[in-house]
Structure 1
Amino acid sequence: MNRYTISFVFSIILVVSCMTYSFHQPHTFWYIYSFTMLVSAIFSKTFLKVYDELSTFKYLISGLLLGGIGYACIFGLYLLLPENAERAVQHFLVHFAPTTLFEYLMLILIIALTEELFWRGYVQGFLMKYMRTSFAIVTAALLFSLPFLFNGFYLCSVATFICGIVFGILYERLRSMPLLVITHISLISLLFILLPLY
């Protein structure tokens, strides 16, 4: 096992563990989660090749449009949930949705960027060296969803897994990290700021 593989395995264990732990600390969640993602950016920066093959205009417009479509899909599925599942989603959002300017800034300026750099850029990119593209996308999405699953946020875990697959496919097809970041920012802005579900 070479040093790149060792660093990869270590980064996955560290990031998933810290993300999982952050949900057990609701009062300091935003500090722990943001710090974890900043640490993940160190691994991403060290071993990552970022693709940016779309013009600024294309990734801005496409990202905003895709974020809106993603929100519409999530909102539509949310309306179809049975009452107990809807309560579970609201419970998660009430406890972990941003409430202060600092938390909103962390979500938009740090978390949206570093999650894409780490999970799609670094993790998915590394896995693609050793497995088929489709398996790499699904594996990276599954790893991304584990902290939610470990904490019993089952619906959020499923949503994160599906979003991870969609984002992974977008990155592989369009080869644009800025597109993913803009899509992520527009999606979470709608979910948590402009048109929250709760």
Structure 2
Amino acid sequence: MTLVESGLGAASWNVLTDGVSRTLGLSFGWTTNLISLLVLLAWIPLRELPGLGTLLNVAIVGLAADATATVLPHPHGTPAAIGYLVLGLVALAFFDALYLGAQFGSGPRDGIMTGLVRLTGLPIAAVRTGIEITVATAGWLLGGTFGVGTVLVALCMGPLVGYFLPRMAVRLPTVAADARHNP
């Protein structure tokens, strides 16, 4: 929500959520949950599997967005708005990598990224940037909050997640390694 509240433009998925929210007349949080459920359908051709993290993401993110919006103060002045933007961008990338690295299942939006990375072999940065640009453009066409910050997020989110994720990922043993150690 710090990205939305910065007034400099929202994160790409938030632009889409804002545009759909305005179009349908739903709250930002409810629209977040609706988009989450619809995006899960895109997992079918990607053969992504849900996990506990997927369910928690669908259930909690929208509620947390609405709750945060009620308590987060509006930034006063350009320096505060830029601070919200930078803090929101880095926090979003860091916490995205943190929960993905736990390997309990990705959220709906991140499942698109992980599925495309797995299927195409392209780097996280390239896939994530393509997704960010696509959803920001769709949201902007629907009237979502768009600004210079949106462009910054769309171009930086992929490289930031690509940077943080390898550093946050829990290394799980492979089946072959387990078989060698536990005959």
Shorter-chain TM range is: 0.3 to 0.5
Q: TM-score under structure 1 normalisation?
A: 0.37
- TM-score, length of structure 2 as denominator length: 0.39
Quick check: which one's helix share is greater? 1
Query: Larger relative CO (CA 8 A, sep 6+): 1 or 2?
Result: 2
